[in-house]
């Protein structure tokens, strides 16, 4: 297994698990909460077959990476991504951030620039800013996030089951886009994550990326489902498209939050068209 060291906690190393497949221009896939790099199962082989070098990694606290008790904020996440980019000496790369991973893309470009990056993708992503405030009326009331934290602390496994049902819109009639077994796989991955990291990331969701998006100056694709219950497109994807000058918007009809599985064919087509 491949690991990149990003720090220490007491006597133990903080290591990020990563996979590196294929040859060609690099595409870095950054997963969402509460999953891991394994969530890109339907994208990796397609991109490799299209002659791209594809890198996935597990965010600290998730998947096969170390599970420290701290560092669950976007400055640290971006620093971790920078260590991945530097260690693998990635250049002319495309960063693809899904859900929470979109925050890494925004903060990395803001903090570390575009020396190694040529394109960016925000997929069902969390920017620009989720918290409702007088200057952000499209946001979500803060008590919603407090409720999520309370539910996670009380019974994390149960919360994850309910969350993933809305992640994939499993109750939508008229054809099943994801099997019960695939949802169970996501639950297994999520349940294996750090309880502390899973909880602390909720606070990170409230990071304000509005000014950072305005400064992005590389070609950018925004992909979002119009049936996303976790991060509704009106509060996230549409506003990110408006904020990033010249960005391209791809709306996936009927796409839930986890559209990279349920609508993989459409998502992969948009990715490949953009990468070309």
Residue 84: which CATH number?
3.40.50.1820
pLDDT at 1: 87
* Residue 247 annotated among the catalytic residues of the structure: no
* Residue 257 annotated among the catalytic residues of the structure: yes
The active-site residue out of 99, 186, 194, 247 is 99
The active-site residue out of 31, 224, 257, 263 is 257
* Residue 224 annotated among the catalytic residues of the structure: no
Q: Stretch 195-221: mean pLDDT, rounded? A: 98
pLDDT tens digits for 129-153? 999 999 999 899 999 999 999 999 9
> What is the chain's mean pLDDT, rounded?
97
The active-site residue out of 186, 228, 247, 263 is 228
Which positions ≥6 away from 99 have C-beta within 8 Å?
Answer: 31, 32, 33, 123, 124, 125, 126, 230, 231, 257
Q: Alpha-carbon distance 270 to 224, whole Å?
A: 11
Q: Alpha-carbon distance 272 to 137, whole Å?
A: 35
Q: Which residue shows structure tokens 């992640």?
A: 167
The region of weakest confidence among 48-57, 119-128, 164-173, 219-228 is: 164-173
pLDDT at 174: 66
Q: Alpha-carbon distance 131 to 144, whole Å?
A: 10
The string of DSSP codes covering 16-83 is: EEEEEE-SSEEEEEE--TT--GGGGTTTHHHHHHTTEEEEEEPPTTSTTS---SS--SHHHHHHHHHH
Q: How many structural domains does the chain have?
A: 1
Buried b (16+ CB within 10 A) or exposed e, 197-213: bbbbbeebbebebeebb
pLDDT tens digits for 69-115? 999 999 999 999 999 999 999 999 999 999 999 999 999 999 999 99
pLDDT tens digits for 15-40? 999 999 999 999 999 999 999 999 99
Q: Stretch 176-190: mean pLDDT, rounded? A: 95
Q: Please give the residue range of the domain that contains residue 188.
A: 2-275
Q: What is the pTM of this model?
A: 0.97
């Amino acid at each position: 297994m491949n690991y990149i060291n990003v720090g220490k906690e007491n006597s133990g190393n903080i290591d990020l698990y990563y996979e590196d497949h294929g040859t060609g221009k690099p595409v870095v896939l950054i997963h969402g909460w509460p999953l891991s790099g394994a969530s890109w199962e339907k994208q990796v082989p397609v991109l490799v077959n299209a002659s791209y070098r594809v890198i996935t990694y597990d965010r600290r606290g998730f998947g096969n990476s170390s599970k420290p008790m701290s560092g669950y904020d976007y400055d640290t996440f971006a620093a971790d991504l920078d260590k991945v980019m530097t260690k693998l000496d990635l250049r002319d790369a495309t960063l693809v951030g899904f859900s929470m991973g979109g925050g890494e893309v925004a903060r990395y470009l803001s903090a570390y620039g575009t020396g190694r990056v040529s394109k960016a993708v925000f997929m069902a992503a969390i920017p620009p800013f989720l918290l409702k405030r007088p200057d952000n009326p499209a946001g979500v009331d803060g008590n919603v996030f407090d409720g999520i934290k309370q539910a996670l602390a009380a019974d994390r496994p149960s919360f994850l089951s309910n969350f993933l049902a809305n992640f994939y819109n499993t109750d939508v009639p008229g054809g099943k886009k994801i099997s019960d077994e695939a949802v169970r796989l996501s639950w297994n991955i999520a349940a294996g994550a750090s309880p502390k990291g899973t909880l602390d990331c909720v606070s990170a969701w409230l990071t304000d990326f509005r000014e950072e998006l305005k400064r992005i100056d590389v070609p950018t694709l925004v992909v979002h489902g119009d049936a996303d219950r976790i991060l509704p497109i009106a509060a996230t994807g549409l506003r990110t498209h408006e904020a990033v000058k010249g960005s391209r918007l791809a709306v996936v009809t009927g796409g839930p939050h986890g559209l990279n599985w349920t609508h993989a064919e459409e998502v992969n087509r948009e990715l490949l068209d953009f990468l070309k």
